[in-house]
Amino acid sequence: MAFFNTILLLLLSLFLLLPVPSLSSPLSLSSSSSSSSIHDLLRSKGLPAGLLPDDVKSYKLSENGLLEVFLDGPCLTKYENRVFFDSVVRANLTYGSLIGVEGLSQEELFLWLPVKDIIVDDPTSGLILFDIGVAHKQLSLSLFEDPPHCKPQGGLKLKKHVRKERGFEAMR
């Protein structure tokens, strides 16, 4: 019996000496170069790979599901309408959805509206839902099969800047 108590004390001592992982620091999975990795991640989570452009520089996925995608800079692409990606796109990634999206806007009737959520409820339906705040928009999943090429775009901000400088002349 004393032998088992000694072994138990030895194991307990070893256990106490092992480092304890911190719960406050999230585990990060990241890819520093391959943009196909982010697209593979999207597919594994039930989302189409083409939700993000082909020129993703890197991404970080925290243990709590926060996905941060880093692009070389802001850019524009087109699915059904024009879409603007900021240089960093953030969202909470769960199976079939990106919730609380930041850094992504979609053009609707000459207005740029932020995309809030992207959801694939039923992949067999062939539809994907975009929550743009004022409305929900259903699009065909086939639009998002392949990652689009995203054109660097300072032009969107540049046009706004030019109009401010020109004042009333811009209204003519």
Beta bridge partners, 172, equal none
What token pair was written down for 41? 């991640």
Say how far apart CA 73 and CA 156 lie, in whole Å. 13
What token pair was written down for 12? 């307990």
- Residue 127, Cα to own-chain centre: how many angstroms? 19
Work out the burial of residue 23: count CB atoms within 10 Å of its CB; fewer than 13 is exposed, 13-18 middle, 19 or more buried.
exposed
Query: What pLDDT is attached to residue 13?
Result: 45
Query: What pLDDT is attached to residue 61?
Result: 96
Find all residues with CB under 8 Å of 147, minimum gap 6, and list them: 35, 39, 49, 50, 52, 53, 54
**What sign does the CA torsion over 72, 77, 79, 82 have?**
positive
Query: What pLDDT is attached to residue 96?
Result: 96
Query: What pLDDT is attached to residue 166?
Result: 44
| Domains delineated in the chain | 27-171 (2.30.240)
Query: What pLDDT is attached to residue 48?
Result: 96
Which residues of 2-110 form beta strands (DSSP E)? 28-31, 56-62, 66-71, 75-78, 82-94, 97-108
Taking only Cα atoms into account, the Rg of the chain, rounded to an integer number of angstroms, comes to: 23
**How many residues does the structure list for the chain?**
172
Tens-level pLDDT at each residue, the chain (172 residues): 554 444 444 433 434 344 444 333 344 444 443 444 899 999 999 999 999 999 899 999 999 999 999 999 999 999 999 999 999 999 999 999 999 999 999 998 889 999 999 999 998 899 999 999 888 999 999 999 999 999 987 554 434 443 444 444 444 4
DSSP string, 50-80: GGS-TTEEEEEEETTSEEEEEESS-EEEESS
Find all residues with CB under 8 Å of 86, minimum gap 6, and list them: 71, 74, 102, 103, 104
